[in-house]
Chain A
Protein backbone atom coordinates (compact mmCIF):
# COMPACT_ATOMS: atom_id res chain seq x y z
CA UNK A 1 0.00 0.00 0.00
CA UNK A 2 1.34 3.43 -0.90
CA UNK A 3 1.55 6.09 1.78
CA UNK A 4 0.42 9.65 1.15
CA UNK A 5 4.08 10.41 0.44
CA UNK A 6 4.02 8.22 -2.63
CA UNK A 7 6.44 5.69 -1.20
CA UNK A 8 5.71 2.21 0.01
CA UNK A 9 5.15 2.20 3.75
CA UNK A 10 6.48 -1.34 3.69
CA UNK A 11 9.94 -0.04 2.76
CA UNK A 12 10.24 1.79 6.06
CA UNK A 13 8.67 -1.06 8.05
CA UNK A 14 11.10 -3.52 6.47
CA UNK A 15 14.07 -1.29 7.25
CA UNK A 16 12.93 -0.90 10.87
CA UNK A 17 12.56 -4.66 11.22
CA UNK A 18 15.92 -5.29 9.53
CA UNK A 19 17.71 -3.02 11.99
CA UNK A 20 16.02 -4.57 15.03
CA UNK A 21 16.89 -8.06 13.83
CA UNK A 22 20.47 -7.07 13.05
CA UNK A 23 20.75 -5.69 16.59
CA UNK A 24 19.27 -8.88 18.09
CA UNK A 25 21.32 -11.22 15.91
CA UNK A 26 24.51 -9.44 16.86
CA UNK A 27 23.67 -9.77 20.56
CA UNK A 28 23.07 -13.51 20.11
CA UNK A 29 26.39 -13.98 18.28
CA UNK A 30 28.29 -12.47 21.20
CA UNK A 31 26.11 -13.53 24.12
CA UNK A 32 28.15 -15.07 26.95
CA UNK A 33 25.70 -14.74 29.79
CA UNK A 34 22.48 -16.78 29.82
CA UNK A 35 19.50 -14.62 29.01
CA UNK A 36 17.30 -14.00 32.02
CA UNK A 37 13.58 -14.66 31.49
CA UNK A 38 13.01 -11.21 33.01
CA UNK A 39 15.69 -9.09 31.35
CA UNK A 40 14.88 -5.99 33.40
CA UNK A 41 14.58 -7.64 36.82
CA UNK A 42 18.22 -6.94 37.85
CA UNK A 43 17.89 -3.22 37.12
CA UNK A 44 14.16 -2.72 37.74
CA UNK A 45 14.69 -0.80 40.98
CA UNK A 46 16.54 1.92 39.06
CA UNK A 47 13.31 2.68 37.19
CA UNK A 48 11.53 3.89 40.33
CA UNK A 49 11.10 7.66 40.48
CA UNK A 50 9.27 10.18 42.67
CA UNK A 51 5.92 10.70 40.90
CA UNK A 52 5.70 14.25 42.28
CA UNK A 53 9.05 15.31 40.76
CA UNK A 54 9.00 18.59 38.91
CA UNK A 55 12.44 18.59 37.32
CA UNK A 56 11.52 16.72 34.13
CA UNK A 57 10.16 18.95 31.32
CA UNK A 58 8.92 15.98 29.26
CA UNK A 59 6.83 14.84 32.22
CA UNK A 60 5.32 18.31 32.46
CA UNK A 61 4.33 18.01 28.78
CA UNK A 62 2.64 14.67 29.54
CA UNK A 63 0.85 16.09 32.58
CA UNK A 64 -0.46 18.85 30.30
CA UNK A 65 -2.05 16.23 28.06
CA UNK A 66 -4.11 14.68 30.86
CA UNK A 67 -7.84 15.31 30.85
CA UNK A 68 -8.91 14.31 34.39
CA UNK A 69 -11.04 11.20 34.45
CA UNK A 70 -9.76 9.84 31.15
CA UNK A 71 -8.11 6.45 30.96
CA UNK A 72 -4.50 6.17 29.83
CA UNK A 73 -2.89 2.93 28.71
CA UNK A 74 0.84 3.00 29.49
CA UNK A 75 2.35 0.32 27.23
CA UNK A 76 5.64 -0.90 28.71
CA UNK A 77 5.01 1.07 31.87
CA UNK A 78 8.11 -0.28 33.61
CA UNK A 79 8.39 0.83 37.22
CA UNK A 80 5.67 3.46 36.78
CA UNK A 81 7.97 6.35 35.96
CA UNK A 82 5.15 8.02 34.02
CA UNK A 83 2.12 5.93 35.05
CA UNK A 84 2.20 7.20 38.64
CA UNK A 85 2.57 10.94 37.84
CA UNK A 86 -0.21 10.63 35.24
CA UNK A 87 -2.49 9.07 37.86
CA UNK A 88 -1.67 11.93 40.22
CA UNK A 89 -2.58 14.35 37.41
CA UNK A 90 -6.07 12.83 37.29
CA UNK A 91 -5.85 9.99 34.78
CA UNK A 92 -6.98 6.45 35.41
CA UNK A 93 -3.95 4.49 34.29
CA UNK A 94 -3.72 0.95 32.98
CA UNK A 95 -0.03 0.05 33.25
CA UNK A 96 0.97 -2.81 31.00
CA UNK A 97 4.39 -4.45 31.15
CA UNK A 98 5.68 -7.98 30.52
CA UNK A 99 8.28 -7.81 33.31
CA UNK A 100 7.09 -9.04 36.73
CA UNK A 101 10.13 -7.33 38.24
CA UNK A 102 9.09 -3.98 36.80
CA UNK A 103 5.47 -4.32 37.89
CA UNK A 104 6.66 -5.19 41.39
CA UNK A 105 8.62 -1.92 41.42
CA UNK A 106 5.53 -0.06 40.17
CA UNK A 107 3.32 -1.50 42.95
CA UNK A 108 5.98 -0.75 45.54
CA UNK A 109 6.35 2.86 44.30
CA UNK A 110 2.57 3.37 44.25
CA UNK A 111 2.39 2.24 47.86
CA UNK A 112 5.44 4.24 48.93
CA UNK A 113 4.25 7.49 47.33
CA UNK A 114 0.54 6.98 48.06
CA UNK A 115 -0.68 6.87 44.45
CA UNK A 116 -4.09 5.36 43.63
CA UNK A 117 -5.77 4.88 40.27
CA UNK A 118 -3.23 2.60 38.61
CA UNK A 119 -4.13 -0.95 37.59
CA UNK A 120 -1.61 -3.31 36.03
CA UNK A 121 -1.60 -5.96 33.33
CA UNK A 122 1.34 -8.35 32.99
CA UNK A 123 1.58 -8.72 29.24
CA UNK A 124 3.50 -7.98 26.12
CA UNK A 125 1.96 -5.69 23.52
CA UNK A 126 -0.29 -6.28 21.64
CA UNK A 127 -2.13 -7.85 24.56
CA UNK A 128 -4.36 -10.87 24.09
CA UNK A 129 -7.26 -9.13 25.80
CA UNK A 130 -9.01 -6.20 24.12
CA UNK A 131 -8.17 -2.91 25.81
CA UNK A 132 -9.96 0.35 25.07
CA UNK A 133 -8.76 3.62 26.55
CA UNK A 134 -8.76 7.33 25.77
CA UNK A 135 -5.02 7.75 25.44
CA UNK A 136 -2.29 5.21 24.65
CA UNK A 137 1.28 6.00 25.69
CA UNK A 138 4.64 4.46 24.94
CA UNK A 139 7.76 5.73 26.63
CA UNK A 140 11.09 4.38 25.42
CA UNK A 141 9.27 1.42 23.98
CA UNK A 142 9.37 0.41 20.33
CA UNK A 143 13.08 0.78 19.57
CA UNK A 144 13.53 -2.99 19.65
CA UNK A 145 10.13 -4.04 18.30
CA UNK A 146 10.68 -5.62 14.88
CA UNK A 147 6.97 -5.69 14.04
CA UNK A 148 6.46 -2.01 14.74
CA UNK A 149 3.59 -1.69 12.27
CA UNK A 150 1.38 -4.22 14.06
CA UNK A 151 2.45 -2.73 17.39
CA UNK A 152 1.28 0.75 16.34
CA UNK A 153 -1.90 -0.60 14.74
CA UNK A 154 -2.85 -2.14 18.09
CA UNK A 155 -1.86 1.00 19.98
CA UNK A 156 -4.02 3.18 17.75
CA UNK A 157 -6.91 0.72 18.05
CA UNK A 158 -6.72 0.95 21.84
CA UNK A 159 -6.85 4.75 21.97
CA UNK A 160 -10.00 6.79 21.36
CA UNK A 161 -8.51 10.30 21.59
CA UNK A 162 -4.75 10.42 21.44
CA UNK A 163 -1.56 8.43 21.00
CA UNK A 164 1.61 9.61 22.72
CA UNK A 165 5.21 8.45 22.29
CA UNK A 166 8.22 9.54 24.32
CA UNK A 167 11.37 8.61 22.45
CA UNK A 168 15.04 9.55 22.32
CA UNK A 169 16.99 10.40 19.19
CA UNK A 170 19.07 7.30 19.97
CA UNK A 171 17.80 4.17 21.72
CA UNK A 172 18.92 4.16 25.40
CA UNK A 173 20.98 1.01 24.88
CA UNK A 174 23.09 2.96 22.38
CA UNK A 175 24.92 4.39 25.38
CA UNK A 176 26.86 1.10 25.44
CA UNK A 177 27.64 1.13 21.72
CA UNK A 178 30.97 2.90 22.18
CA UNK A 179 32.29 -0.17 24.04
CA UNK A 180 31.44 -2.70 21.33
CA UNK A 181 34.54 -2.26 19.13
CA UNK A 182 36.88 -2.63 22.11
CA UNK A 183 35.02 -5.56 23.66
CA UNK A 184 33.61 -7.46 20.66
CA UNK A 185 35.76 -6.14 17.82
CA UNK A 186 32.95 -4.65 15.76
CA UNK A 187 30.63 -1.65 15.89
CA UNK A 188 27.19 -2.11 17.41
CA UNK A 189 24.21 -2.45 15.08
CA UNK A 190 22.07 0.50 16.18
CA UNK A 191 18.33 0.39 16.75
CA UNK A 192 15.92 2.83 15.11
CA UNK A 193 14.72 5.70 17.30
CA UNK A 194 12.87 9.02 17.22
CA UNK A 195 13.78 10.19 13.68
CA UNK A 196 12.85 6.85 12.12
CA UNK A 197 9.66 6.76 14.21
CA UNK A 198 8.59 10.17 12.90
CA UNK A 199 9.30 9.15 9.32
CA UNK A 200 7.22 6.03 9.88
CA UNK A 201 4.30 8.05 11.25
CA UNK A 202 4.45 10.27 8.17
CA UNK A 203 4.37 7.21 5.95
CA UNK A 204 1.37 5.95 7.94
CA UNK A 205 -0.43 9.14 6.98
CA UNK A 206 -0.44 10.57 10.49
CA UNK A 207 -0.19 14.26 11.30
CA UNK A 208 1.73 14.57 14.52
CA UNK A 209 2.91 17.21 16.94
CA UNK A 210 6.36 17.04 18.52
CA UNK A 211 7.75 18.69 21.62
CA UNK A 212 11.52 18.48 21.50
CA UNK A 213 13.64 18.60 24.62
CA UNK A 214 16.81 16.97 25.89
CA UNK A 215 17.75 14.20 28.24
CA UNK A 216 20.96 14.67 30.14
CA UNK A 217 23.56 11.88 29.89
CA UNK A 218 22.93 8.94 32.23
CA UNK A 219 24.77 9.38 35.53
CA UNK A 220 25.69 6.27 37.51
CA UNK A 221 26.04 6.42 41.27
CA UNK A 222 29.10 4.15 41.22
CA UNK A 223 31.54 2.53 38.81
CA UNK A 224 29.91 -0.82 39.68
CA UNK A 225 26.47 0.49 38.66
CA UNK A 226 27.85 1.69 35.32
CA UNK A 227 29.61 -1.64 34.75
CA UNK A 228 26.39 -3.49 35.61
CA UNK A 229 24.54 -1.63 32.86
CA UNK A 230 27.33 -2.30 30.38
CA UNK A 231 27.69 -5.99 31.23
CA UNK A 232 23.99 -6.36 30.48
CA UNK A 233 24.15 -4.39 27.23
CA UNK A 234 27.34 -6.13 26.08
CA UNK A 235 25.89 -9.58 26.96
CA UNK A 236 29.12 -10.65 28.68
CA UNK A 237 30.07 -12.54 31.82
CA UNK A 238 30.97 -10.15 34.65
CA UNK A 239 34.28 -11.86 35.38
CA UNK A 240 35.33 -13.06 31.93
CA UNK A 241 38.11 -11.79 29.66
CA UNK A 242 35.70 -9.50 27.81
CA UNK A 243 34.79 -7.82 31.09
CA UNK A 244 38.51 -7.12 31.49
CA UNK A 245 38.53 -5.53 28.02
CA UNK A 246 35.48 -3.51 28.97
CA UNK A 247 37.14 -2.18 32.13
CA UNK A 248 40.27 -1.30 30.15
CA UNK A 249 38.21 0.60 27.56
CA UNK A 250 36.30 2.44 30.29
CA UNK A 251 39.55 4.06 31.40
CA UNK A 252 39.33 6.29 28.32
CA UNK A 253 35.60 6.23 27.52
CA UNK A 254 34.08 6.91 30.95
CA UNK A 255 34.42 9.99 33.09
CA UNK A 256 33.77 10.85 36.72
CA UNK A 257 32.38 14.15 37.95
CA UNK A 258 31.27 14.96 41.48
CA UNK A 259 31.31 11.31 42.47
CA UNK A 260 29.10 10.19 39.57
CA UNK A 261 30.11 8.18 36.51
CA UNK A 262 29.29 8.98 32.88
CA UNK A 263 29.64 7.22 29.53
CA UNK A 264 28.91 10.41 27.63
CA UNK A 265 28.75 14.13 28.26
CA UNK A 266 26.35 14.72 25.36
CA UNK A 267 22.65 15.39 26.05
CA UNK A 268 20.31 13.51 23.72
CA UNK A 269 17.31 15.05 21.94
CA UNK A 270 14.08 13.71 23.43
CA UNK A 271 10.73 13.97 21.69
CA UNK A 272 7.17 13.81 23.01
CA UNK A 273 5.10 12.94 19.96
CA UNK A 274 1.29 13.15 19.89
CA UNK A 275 -1.07 12.10 17.14
CA UNK A 276 -4.69 11.19 16.65
CA UNK A 277 -5.25 7.44 16.38
Chain B
Protein backbone atom coordinates (compact mmCIF):
# COMPACT_ATOMS: atom_id res chain seq x y z
CA UNK B 1 0.00 0.00 0.00
CA UNK B 2 1.41 3.41 -0.89
CA UNK B 3 2.00 6.17 1.63
CA UNK B 4 -0.59 8.88 2.07
CA UNK B 5 1.59 11.51 3.79
CA UNK B 6 4.68 9.87 5.33
CA UNK B 7 6.68 9.69 2.10
CA UNK B 8 9.04 12.53 3.13
CA UNK B 9 9.71 10.78 6.43
CA UNK B 10 10.45 7.50 4.66
CA UNK B 11 12.74 9.39 2.26
CA UNK B 12 14.58 11.03 5.16
CA UNK B 13 15.21 7.63 6.73
CA UNK B 14 16.69 6.16 3.55
CA UNK B 15 20.25 7.14 4.50
CA UNK B 16 19.94 5.20 7.75
CA UNK B 17 19.14 2.02 5.84
CA UNK B 18 21.85 2.68 3.27
CA UNK B 19 24.50 3.14 5.95
CA UNK B 20 23.87 -0.33 7.39
CA UNK B 21 26.18 -1.83 4.79
CA UNK B 22 29.16 -0.09 6.42
CA UNK B 23 28.78 -2.46 9.38
CA UNK B 24 28.90 -5.58 7.17
CA UNK B 25 31.83 -4.23 5.17
CA UNK B 26 33.77 -3.43 8.36
CA UNK B 27 33.10 -6.88 9.83
CA UNK B 28 34.40 -8.56 6.71
CA UNK B 29 37.42 -6.27 6.46
CA UNK B 30 38.40 -6.71 10.10
CA UNK B 31 39.31 -10.35 9.59
CA UNK B 32 40.47 -10.37 5.96
CA UNK B 33 41.67 -6.99 4.70
CA UNK B 34 45.05 -5.33 4.98
CA UNK B 35 45.50 -3.09 7.99
CA UNK B 36 44.90 0.33 6.30
CA UNK B 37 41.79 -0.90 4.47
CA UNK B 38 40.46 -2.62 7.59
CA UNK B 39 40.90 0.55 9.64
CA UNK B 40 39.26 2.67 6.97
CA UNK B 41 36.27 0.31 6.92
CA UNK B 42 36.02 0.33 10.70
CA UNK B 43 36.15 4.14 10.74
CA UNK B 44 33.36 4.16 8.14
CA UNK B 45 31.17 1.98 10.35
CA UNK B 46 31.84 4.19 13.34
CA UNK B 47 31.11 7.33 11.32
CA UNK B 48 27.73 5.88 10.32
CA UNK B 49 26.81 5.02 13.91
CA UNK B 50 28.15 8.16 15.60
CA UNK B 51 27.47 10.64 12.81
CA UNK B 52 24.16 9.41 11.43
CA UNK B 53 22.30 6.74 13.36
CA UNK B 54 22.77 7.99 16.93
CA UNK B 55 22.02 11.70 16.27
CA UNK B 56 18.85 10.71 14.43
CA UNK B 57 17.93 8.31 17.24
CA UNK B 58 18.18 11.08 19.81
CA UNK B 59 16.12 13.37 17.58
CA UNK B 60 13.50 10.64 17.07
CA UNK B 61 12.77 10.63 20.79
CA UNK B 62 11.46 14.20 20.43
CA UNK B 63 9.84 13.90 17.02
CA UNK B 64 8.79 10.49 15.73
CA UNK B 65 8.14 8.99 19.16
CA UNK B 66 6.15 11.93 20.54
CA UNK B 67 3.99 11.79 17.40
CA UNK B 68 3.36 8.09 18.04
CA UNK B 69 2.49 8.95 21.65
CA UNK B 70 0.06 11.53 20.30
CA UNK B 71 -1.63 9.09 17.95
CA UNK B 72 -1.90 6.40 20.63
CA UNK B 73 -2.88 8.85 23.37
CA UNK B 74 -0.23 7.32 25.59
CA UNK B 75 2.94 8.41 27.36
CA UNK B 76 6.24 6.75 26.54
CA UNK B 77 4.66 4.25 24.16
CA UNK B 78 8.03 3.89 22.39
CA UNK B 79 9.94 2.94 25.55
CA UNK B 80 11.22 -0.32 24.03
CA UNK B 81 12.69 1.53 21.06
CA UNK B 82 14.29 4.11 23.36
CA UNK B 83 15.88 1.27 25.32
CA UNK B 84 17.27 -0.07 22.04
CA UNK B 85 18.76 3.37 21.31
CA UNK B 86 20.57 3.17 24.63
CA UNK B 87 21.85 -0.34 23.90
CA UNK B 88 23.08 0.68 20.44
CA UNK B 89 24.79 3.74 21.94
CA UNK B 90 26.61 1.55 24.49
CA UNK B 91 27.64 -1.00 21.86
CA UNK B 92 28.91 1.85 19.68
CA UNK B 93 31.02 3.04 22.61
CA UNK B 94 32.43 -0.49 22.97
CA UNK B 95 33.14 -0.60 19.24
CA UNK B 96 34.96 2.75 19.34
CA UNK B 97 37.16 1.54 22.21
CA UNK B 98 37.96 -1.73 20.45
CA UNK B 99 38.85 0.02 17.19
CA UNK B 100 41.10 2.40 19.09
CA UNK B 101 42.87 -0.51 20.78
CA UNK B 102 43.33 -2.28 17.41
CA UNK B 103 44.71 0.91 15.90
CA UNK B 104 47.13 1.38 18.81
CA UNK B 105 48.37 -2.22 18.63
CA UNK B 106 48.64 -2.03 14.83
CA UNK B 107 47.00 -5.42 14.32
CA UNK B 108 43.31 -5.34 13.46
CA UNK B 109 43.06 -9.07 12.65
CA UNK B 110 43.96 -10.05 16.19
CA UNK B 111 41.00 -7.97 17.35
CA UNK B 112 38.56 -9.57 14.89
CA UNK B 113 37.27 -11.92 17.56
CA UNK B 114 36.11 -8.84 19.52
CA UNK B 115 35.10 -6.71 16.53
CA UNK B 116 33.01 -9.32 14.67
CA UNK B 117 30.37 -9.91 17.36
CA UNK B 118 30.04 -6.17 17.92
CA UNK B 119 29.71 -5.33 14.22
CA UNK B 120 27.36 -8.19 13.30
CA UNK B 121 25.42 -7.63 16.51
CA UNK B 122 25.04 -3.94 15.72
CA UNK B 123 24.04 -4.73 12.13
CA UNK B 124 21.27 -7.05 13.28
CA UNK B 125 20.06 -4.77 16.04
CA UNK B 126 20.08 -1.57 13.96
CA UNK B 127 18.42 -3.27 11.00
CA UNK B 128 15.69 -4.81 13.15
CA UNK B 129 15.24 -1.48 14.90
CA UNK B 130 14.85 0.52 11.67
CA UNK B 131 12.54 -2.04 10.08
CA UNK B 132 10.40 -2.20 13.22
CA UNK B 133 9.98 1.57 13.15
CA UNK B 134 9.15 1.44 9.44
CA UNK B 135 6.61 -1.34 9.89
CA UNK B 136 4.97 -0.22 13.12
CA UNK B 137 5.22 3.56 13.31
CA UNK B 138 5.18 4.90 9.77
CA UNK B 139 1.80 3.36 8.85
CA UNK B 140 0.39 4.58 12.15
CA UNK B 141 1.52 8.15 11.45
CA UNK B 142 0.39 7.84 7.84
CA UNK B 143 -3.12 7.12 9.03
CA UNK B 144 -3.33 9.94 11.55
CA UNK B 145 -1.06 12.87 10.72
CA UNK B 146 -1.62 15.63 8.22
CA UNK B 147 0.90 16.47 5.52
CA UNK B 148 1.97 19.60 7.41
CA UNK B 149 2.45 17.61 10.62
CA UNK B 150 4.68 15.11 8.84
CA UNK B 151 6.56 18.05 7.34
CA UNK B 152 7.07 19.41 10.85
CA UNK B 153 8.33 16.03 12.10
CA UNK B 154 10.84 15.83 9.22
CA UNK B 155 11.97 19.46 9.69
CA UNK B 156 12.53 19.00 13.41
CA UNK B 157 14.20 15.63 12.89
CA UNK B 158 16.57 17.09 10.30
CA UNK B 159 17.39 20.14 12.43
CA UNK B 160 17.90 18.22 15.66
CA UNK B 161 20.06 15.55 14.03
CA UNK B 162 22.19 18.27 12.44
CA UNK B 163 22.34 20.21 15.71
CA UNK B 164 21.24 23.47 14.10
CA UNK B 165 19.11 26.24 15.57
CA UNK B 166 15.37 26.58 15.24
CA UNK B 167 14.04 29.10 12.74
CA UNK B 168 11.69 31.85 13.88
Contact = CB atoms under 8 A, between A and B. Distances in A.
Given A5-B145, A208-B152, A212-B58, A195 B167 contact: no
A221 interface: no
A212 B159 CA distance: 8
B6 to A, nearest CB: 14
A269 B76 CA distance: 16
A199 B66 contact: yes
Size band of the interface chain A makes with B: 20 to 34
B100 to A, nearest CB: 21
Interface string B54-79: 00001101110111011111011000
Contacts of A162: 168
Contact of B152 (A64, A194, A203, A207): A207
A186 interface: no
A68 B88 CA distance: 45
A274 B146 contact: no
Interface in A219-277: 269, 271-274
Contacts of A272: 166
B155 interface: yes
Interface of A: 3-8, 11-12, 15, 60-61, 64-65, 162, 169, 192, 194-196, 198-199, 202-203, 207-212, 269, 271-274
A170 to B, nearest CB: 12
Contacts of B156: 208-210
Contacts of A12: 70, 73
Interface residues of B, number: 31
B89 interface: no
Nearest to A204: B70
A274 B166 contact: yes
Contacts of B159: 209-212
A212 B160 CA distance: 6
A15 B164 CA distance: 32
A207 B149 contact: yes
Interface string B141-168: 0001110110010011001100111111
A61 B70 contact: no
Contacts of B62: 169, 194-195, 198, 210, 212, 269, 271
A72 to B, nearest CB: 13
A202 B155 contact: no
11 contacts: A169-B61, A169-B62, A202-B66, A207-B148, A209-B167, A210-B156, A210-B166, A212-B159, A269-B58, A269-B62, A273-B166
A272 B167 CA distance: 11
Given A65-B168, A208-B152, A274-B166, A7 B71 contact: yes
Contacts of B63: 210
A154 B66 CA distance: 24
Contacts of A269: 58, 61-62
Contact of A11 (B61, B73, B155): B73
A60 B144 CA distance: 35
A215 B164 CA distance: 16
Nearest to B61: A195
B165 A202 contact: no
B144 A6 contact: yes
A3 B146 CA distance: 11
Nearest to B146: A4
